[in-house]
Structure 1
Amino acid sequence: MIELFVSALITFFVIIDPPGNAPIFASLTTGATPRQRRVMAIRAIVISSIILVFFALLGEELLGSLHISLDAFRIAGGLMLFAIAFEMVFEKRTQRREDRAQKIIDTPEIEDVSAFPMAMPMIAGPGTIAAVMLLQARSEGLEESLVVLAALGVILLLTLAALLAAGPLMRLLGQRIEAVITRLLGVVLAALATQFVIDGLVGAFGITLPGTA
């Protein structure tokens, strides 16, 4: 249980990236009052939580209705997460998020950024949805499923704390430290994504690989 919790915790932390979302949120809410920032931060977490819990609980049934096997989803999800990891290592993900944020800033009529882009796709994006479904698919029984959801809850609370403390957190970390952390987490995510692909290949084709027997 502890290993599953730690694995899920690391996976969600790497993909959601609470410290990385903080400066984006700070830039999107420039000019807003402290109360407005708090409301948007809480609303973003609530919306993203609903989306992720929905896919965690009903994602497998949704795949079944579309005649998509879990092994196929493991492979596809692993490849998707690997693409995110590649972008993190080479800082392309950060640049894309900043470009998206700048477009929102340049559009004055958009004031509430809690649903878009904060809740989705920055927090509950395709990578996070894929990860929560993959981890739930690997869980056996109610207890392990609850462990995965608990890890997700911890990271979402950490993300909320990061959004609420976006200004001071940004000054504390600085851009250089954030870049180093992002690259290191990208390497970890690449390894986790590769494991998802291996699990999918083993399940789909009955391939026996070293360490999987």
Structure 2
Amino acid sequence: MSDGEPLAVRLDQVTAGWIEGKPALRSASLTIAARGVTGVVGPNGSGKSTLVELISGYLRPWQGTVQVGGAAPDSGSVRSRRRICRTAPALFGLMTVRDHLVLSARAPGGDLDVQVRRAERLGLGPWLDENAGTLSSGTAKKLWYLFCTAGDFELVVLDEPFNALDLGAVDVVVDEIVRWAEDRAVVVVAHQPPAGLPVEAVVDLETAGHRG
């Protein structure tokens, strides 16, 4: 059940970055719909990761406004309804795969049985009792994806979710994205999205905001 406006994303004349005087986005304005799959494209350095962190609320704009569902991205009304899956896994090395699933199931609407079934579909069954620190890059990426997308949400941002995944896992992720997009917003940052990904809108950061 929604606690506010649908979680569309709006940037209005946003300038932001990580190094003072070197904005990754300059005067960027864009809208991401509250339903369907939106692809984010642009060359390296065009501000894709900056956009992810603006939506997450971790990064605040130097100028302009960012709204998610009509509210500030770091507001409590947004946080519980949004999921962010960054590029690099940040797992707990001494916790097992199962431990991560248990922890992720504490997210709003989370369910451990659901998380275990998702893990098995991704081929993680044999590694449930292995420590995360021993996993290969592809296996760690699968666990990270599960960890970041647990429970009920209305908006999910996936930054390069297909990197290091085998073809079978890619198919599973695409299948979940298709299901989510029926009534939620899915934002996908991917240099080479799989052919089966049904992207309904594209945000090109080369035209949305000028770098400088």
TM-score, shorter chain, exceeding 0.5: no
The higher-RCO structure (CA 8 Å, 6+ apart) is 1
Higher helix share: 1
User: What band does the TM-score fall into relative to the shorter chain?
Assistant: under 0.3
Higher strand share: 2
